[in-house]
Amino acid sequence: MPSLRVPLEKGSKKLINAWAFYDWANSVYTLVISSAIFPIYFGALFTDVNTISFFNYDIKNTAVISFVTAFAFVIVAFISPLLSGIADYIGNKKKFMKIFVYLGSLSCVGLYFFELETIYMGLFFYFLAMIGIWASLVFYNSYLPDIAYPEQQDRASARGFSMGYIGSVLLLLVNLAMVMEPHWFGISGSPKEASMEAMRYSFVSVGIWWSFFSQYSFYYLPKGNHEVKVTKDIFWNGFRELRSVWNQLEHHLGIKRFLPAFFLYSMALQTVLLVAAYYGEQEIAWASSSEKTIGLIVSILLIQIVAIFGAILTARASERFGNIPVLIVINGIWAILCVVAYYTQTPMQFYIVAGFVGLVMGGMQSLSRSTYSKLLPETQDTTSFFSFYDVTEKIGIVIGMLCFGLIDHISGSMRNSILFFIVFFILGGVMLMRIPLKRT
């Protein structure tokens, strides 16, 4: 294994693989914590009571998760430009990436102590883990132009996605075995107690996996230019770039009309994806707790697998019909899915909805980013424009999660929250119609 003093050359296969390997390391958080095991565990904690007390005010448990998530994304939306500015100029950005990786992984380990008696500490760890994952990705993404040449970057990014998918599914399958057959792993107690304990060990496994496999990336990723110092100008550089993009929007009609549409439908899309498992846990009539656990995990895996084919089909459709018309159709499909989800009661219905969600989820995300890329002015630096794009997405998530949580809490049903998001998908589709079809 080469010494750190002899860095790998930009564009080398080993360096690109080392960079992509961070997806293998961190994607377990998204699948196990955000989408599968944690929502099941969280729902199981509240079988007898479904509220959490904050300052003597009872708030619905699922609404609390929405609010905590929204607050985490407020922080992420604020620090992302700061981190982007530092990442562009800092001498050793690997050190910053490590800080957030360890913050996130240790917080996942801390989720082992997430119980009703320690609910506030548990929510704090949940909050810190979310900060850790999203902040680390700022530096991870900023490494791409450092490790690969432009003609290599699409393949490098796709490789990271593939590795992340495989790694996260492998750990999820191990966690599923732990939850369903805890005695195989030496976990004793009543079936429910052992299953709950296994879920808590799953959170620990995510933290260990994330931290351990990140070391391969850390070993090979370049440190950068040590001569660059963090100054006040560098610190605020990211915000200056956002302001510069904002001032340029008047001169780029396509981007100016696309971003508000993206803000609306992305707000709905990301919120629905973040709460899907909580919705399935609470609103679907499962026959037993074991069927619920297996059913929710199977549905998450189904979404993951179908999303790959959905992205391929969407890409082919966009080649034939254009990006904007396909995005308009997908928005319409999402609006219909919200209506269907509102009336979904049985596990089989939930699986069918999950399949369709996967079909349009991956395609909408990938097509949105490529559409935005096509609309960018050819003579401008794309980094600042994509930073603006990312912040737009995160602010949308904040508003979306707040809306979802408020409706859920006030009405007492997540179904009403899901139904409300039809408005954003329809408005997003209508606003897309205003975009010139040239080049997209």
Q: Where are the alpha helices (H) located in 12-60, listed in sequence order?
A: 13-28, 37-45
At 103, give phi and psi (nearest 5°): -60, -50
Distance CA 82, CA 126 (A): 23
Residue-wise pLDDT for 321-348, tens only, equals 888 899 999 999 999 999 999 999 999 9
Quote the pLDDT of residue 63. 84
Q: Which candidate, 361, 401, 359, places its Cα nearest to that of 271? A: 401
Secondary structure letter of residue 34 according to DSSP: I
- Percent share of the chain, pLDDT over 90: 25
Residue-wise pLDDT for 301-316, tens only, equals 888 778 777 877 887 8
CA 337 from centre of chain? 20
Query: Domain boundaries in the chain?
Result: 9-235, 245-440
Quote the pLDDT of residue 188. 86
Q: Which residue has the higher pLDDT, 21 or 149?
A: 21
Contact indicator for 18, 220 with CB cutoff of 8 Å: yes
Domains 9-235 and 245-440 share a fold: yes
What per-residue string of b and e applies to 213-224 under the rule 16 or more CB within 10 Å gives b? bbeebbebbbeb
Quote the pLDDT of residue 437. 62
DSSP assignment of 227-279 equals T----HHHHTHHHHHHHHHHHHGGG-HHHHHHHHHHHHHHHHHHHHHHHHHHH
Q: Which helix (H) or strand (E) holds 60?
A: strand 57-60
CA 252 from centre of chain? 29
Q: For the residues 136-149, what does the mean pLDDT come to?
A: 77
**Global confidence as pTM:** 0.79
Secondary structure letter of residue 101 according to DSSP: H
CATH of 9-235, one of 3.50.50.60, 1.10.1740.10, 1.20.1250.20, 2.30.40.10: 1.20.1250.20
Angle at 42 between CA 302 and CA 55, to 5 degrees: 140
Distance CA 250, CA 124 (A): 41
Quote the pLDDT of residue 1. 44
Is the predicted pLDDT of residue 386 greater than 70, yes or no?
no
How sure is the predictor about 2, in pLDDT bands with cuts at 50, 70 and 90?
Answer: very low
Q: How many CA atoms lie within 13 A of 62 on its CB side?
A: 28
At 36, give phi and psi (nearest 5°): -120, -80
Highest mean pLDDT among 37-41, 205-209, 286-290, 317-321: 205-209
Distance set, CA 362 to CA 142, 248, 426 (Å): 22, 30, 19
245-440 maps to which CATH number?
Answer: 1.20.1250.20
What per-residue string of b and e applies to 327-346 under the rule 16 or more CB within 10 Å gives b? bbbbbebbbebbeebbebee
How sure is the predictor about 233, in pLDDT bands with cuts at 50, 70 and 90?
Answer: low
Q: For the residues 79-104, what does the mean pLDDT come to?
A: 78
Angle at 198 between CA 193 and CA 203, to 5 degrees: 130
Q: Which candidate, 418, 429, 172, places its Cα nearest to that of 303? A: 172
